[in-house]
Structure 1
Amino acid sequence: MEITMRPGLINSFTSITMLLVCIFLLFLSLAFAVQDSITSNESIKDGESTLVSASGTFELGFFSPGNSMNRFLGVWYKNEAHKEVIWVANREIPLKDSSGFLNFTQQGVLLLLNGNNEKIWSSNKTTNVESPVMQLLDSGNLVVKDGKDSNFILWQSFEYPCDTFLPGMMIGGNSQTGVDRNLTSWKSADDPGPGQFSFGIDRQGFPQLVIKNGTLKHCRLGSWNGKSFTGTPDLPRDQFLKYDFILNKTHADYSYEILRPGVLLTRLIVNQSGFVERFLRSIQNNNWTKIYWAPRDLCDSYSVCGAHMICKMVDQSHDCTCLEGFEPKSPTDWSEGCARRSPLNCTQDIFQNFTGLKLPDTNLSWYDTSMSLVECKDKCLKNCNCTAYANSNITGEGSGCILWFGELVDMREFSTGGQDLYIRMPPLKTDQTTSNTNSGKKKLLGIILGSTVLAGVLTVGLTFYIWRKKQRKQEIEEDMELPSFHLATIVKATDNFSSNNKLGQGGFGPVYKGTLIDGQEIAVKRLSKSSRQGLTEFKNEVILIAKLQHRNLVKLLGCCIQGDEVMLIYEFMPNKSLDYFIFDQTRNKFLDWQRRNLIIGGIARGLLYLHQDSRLRIIHRDLKASNILLDKDMNPKISDFGMARLFGGDQIEADTNKVVGTYGYMPPEYVVDGRFSLKSDVFSFGVLVLEIISGKKNRGFSHPDHCHNLLGHAWKLWTEERSLELLENMSDSPYSVSEVLRCIHVGLLCVQQKPEDRPNMPSVVLMLGSENPLPDPKQPGFFTERNMPEVDSSSGNHESSSINDLTISELHAR
């Protein structure tokens, strides 16, 4: 049977087919709805609907990052093979399945719920408008607006950035409201939770852009000078980017815009390795190109050179040199920094101009954006504590004033760009001139005498070197009562001292991880051949620790002395040191209160053994978080006895002209008068207790309500009967209120100003382990408001701060 269809019939059939296709697509779109805005009482369900910006650039919905099965609500670039997520709502609390949904309430609140209708995340901002609307803007900003006034934004995701900085977004903060907007890296590619690295504005002193690793500076991009940040002269700009920095009495905000928004896209992220990276791509092309990153090289690492040093890149490596007029404090350790050759005079000082620099850390600075450079110089000259000055803005002829007080830290030299810095110097010395004839005779005589003396010195020096080399080995061998390891065994165990096995670096030399043939893991402390100071500390450590055995002291396994090599072999501590955990915002979660309490008790028992129970009586003198190592079960072990001192059985205290230790842990009587005793360690222990409880460093602690260090903060809370507020947030783990308060009480007793008021370690151990009443503590040592040197603050901004921990190996006390 043959069927013939007329043209009209064919057209009708085609129309019907097209209609059916349209109906099918309509149903499909309803099943997988893509919307550009949502009104109140509507929802976005996982797997059923998304929200897309009007231009189609961004999309809001549910996703699983990397290889994770967890579900998150986020915003990403639409139509990309690799999903580049720019914002995550529930980054700390994932959904465990795909039953979650985002509800937009009548009050304008975004509410993320799981399948059991339990709240996972909320915008927590109730509005008073009648018809709120949720919309994803073309900028990538998720907003809640007034439906009747589209310019009235009630809530926006740009106020709560994650790891991505987009055009139109703003990072920085408000000193009045306490609002801080920083970027925070993901924990990993599978976990968008807040990682260890952050990127934002540090408002202490003159505001500057920094990357932080936990609470520590990782890389400092510097302060805004009107053109770029002083640490980023190569910041991409001009043809497609424009930067804006707002600085006034209350705000320090950084933002940028793209000059070709319809053609190019750009984003800046802080990644899990601590790098800030800027990417660029065209609208039509999905391939991102990295156009900028920081840190760029080793000189970008924060304070890789010590104070008053300039970092220079030479053949892919960094080199640290002292500023002119300064000399190294240590011939082998750059971190010690440099000191002035001649003291300042104050009234007759001059200023030397250094060009092409990244300006020093502005934490300890004062500024006034309205001053001229001449006024800035006069201001600095009139204050004897002012060490340097510079323009705050270099556009035009330059304007504004920054004054530095104290040490100049984290400077580098740029081949192009950089800025002028004027550093205070002592007045030039003038020598009386002599006649050319007398000068020539003196030079000739000097050459003859110098040559003779040099030959004699070289002969004596060579003889002394050979004798000392033999003597050094003999001295160490006589002091050691330890098993001996063969050099070949240690070389094999450490893979020939591979850089991959290097654990750290001290004044004595490097420390390496090794594995013996039987599988035992070891830590090898290798004495640097050029370290004279290290040899003294090395011998001191051997003499003391070789004779000590306690479960809360690190165990010395043996030594290796062969040729020029001198090494100590310790048990390996797989969990590194205490500071690795307590001062890191991510890793500190591994230390619940029970573990912290056990660590405090273990350190106390280790000190008790050193002070009383061992056959020696030892003062450690450098007790700090980085010298508390943690074994596989997180048990604490006191380490590093290079600065320890041996006391006689009836000796109470001693004096020294050489103060050693770490700022923030040393008691007042030791820093000021050079007097140390068993109570010096007690003070350091008290600081450690308060640091362990709070998760904050004593040195470098800051609080918006006052300028005390951690000891002062703890004392303030004690006097106001709010001591429990010192405890780091442990909402996910139980703790005993009485145990916490008792530990804080004991910590405050240990850090009292006068040594005689502090308990001894037997009393401390007893206090921690009992419920007996304790005496009231007196004011702590070094309890002061940290103020800057006196400066006329009638204009500008003047804030105080503290600087990073610094271990000092030589400071002559009064």
Structure 2
Amino acid sequence: MAKDGNFLLEMTKHRHPMSSNFPTILLFIFILFAASLAAADAKDTLLSGQCISRSETLISKSGVFELGFFAYDGLYKYNLGIRYKNLVERSPVFVVQYPTHFSNRATLCFLKDKLYTINDYYPSEYVLWSSEGNGSAASVAILLDTGNFVVRDEMNPSVVMWQSFDYQGTGDALQPGAWIASDTVTGASIMTNTNDFFPYYCTLQIDKRRKRGFAINVGGSYDFGGASYGYHGTFPDWMVTYKEGVDSVQLNVPKSPNAIELLKLELGQVSFLRWSGNGTFGTWQPLWSFPSSCSISPFICGAFGACTQAGKCRCIDGFKPTLADEWDLGRFTSGCSSIHPMRCDAENSFTTDTFVLLDNLQGLPVSEYARDEPATSSEECKSACLRSCYCTAYSYSSGCKIWQFKLHNLSLADSPPYSSIYVRLGSSREKKGLRKLQIVALVVCLLVAIVPGGSLVFWLYKGLSSRKMKVEGFLVVYSYAQLKKATGNFSYKLGEGGFGSVFKGMIAGSSSTHPKSDGSGCASGHPVALRSVTGERGDKAERPTSLVARFGPIHDDLLAFLRLPPIHSILVLSPRRVLEYEQAASVRKGRDC
């Protein structure tokens, strides 16, 4: 029996290592299971008969891209598009279907022969792709790791029946791998554009007359016969691939798999951007922009940005670049922001707002919201602007005109005729008052912290100074307060003579000796005799070394009388009095404590 017990004990000691790691293995299995559930939930494919609603998305297998209905403008308009999943707040939407806007109840559905959307708006059903009854039963709709949403044969993936890259030109951003080309089916030119509203509407299309050429138009449809704000450019060869015979350019895929790049069109300026940052923290860095000079189009200076005669964008007075880093790199479409922003919720804010006069403009600015006001004077026109929180500028020449929200197309002229407007600024008075209040609060906080802190430091210094000795040459100098404490306020007088009074005291130590206890219950320290020397009124500023020189003979007599080896003297300076004391051996040490 004992043998069996020993055997079981040995088996316990040498049990299988897997049993000791069982909790770890169980946790690992749980993590894998949770990951598999997440992967199953984050699907990238629509099978025949499946749909996704406005609140659902498809996510590419790599997790980089997602497809869904994303907010376009305001809180209730959505577009079907693709974006970078990890850059939700900063990623543009690569529009798949445009210009249809969807409501909150939009749905994307896939059948074996049709990919379509269902919407509350007209048309209620919009077909993106249809095989007209000839579709394969094995077809699927899948979001690829390239960001391309395709309908393809599930058994033969090389057979692609529809892809979003063919229609992505209908948005204001183009992702790598997509292209701008002439539609071989309709013969129409596929263009990128921002939105439907003048003056922000702009288009980019292939210029068939040049290799890698393109044309941009701001504010309206473009034809090569000529239009206002229309201009031509050429894509650099490192950025795009030109396909001969099909009149198309394809945006190159980044060489680095981790690079995030895109082509962006805004206010007539096209830019090639690369994400610089870690995760959601970073910024879009422009690597190339066209045009680089605003002399071609003042629109590229953005809101409240003005184009100078030298072709450079700058902010008007009272404004600063919204994204200074982008301005430094030649992309100006972010525009300018007021140094003192207006506050519509501030009570009586209109009474403190100010205006800056721009009297050297070449024409008047362009705004989506500009209107005439029935005012008979410049002051009435100003009052009409102040009554509206969203009024940003006014002008009064032959009549009153006010602008709301943003101002675009500002050009500075160097010769007449000039146009002038008054641009509204936020209240600097309110900001100055707030700054003054902040300064007062800061001073009060500092005083609250300094007064008790200073008192604590003074108390600590006073406590330390009662024990601290200052060495000056061969002297150790004590303060008057230290000597009062050492002598019990000069309460024990040893005697006096022509040299002055002598008091007995106890010093806690010196720079050359350490205090010690005599074992009789007396305080630890050295018994000393203090000699009082009365000097003239001017002697209070005399240094201790000179006083020792004047009273040196008395020192020698006293030291000799006490039969002590000459040691350093200890003095203190006080108003109208110099106390000099020397360490002495008291013959009455055990009796006088």
Q: Which has the higher contact order (CA 8 A, sep 6+)?
A: 1
TM-score when normalising by structure 1: 0.33
TM-score when normalising by structure 2: 0.44
Point out the structure with max Rg over C-alpha.
2
Larger fraction in strand: 2
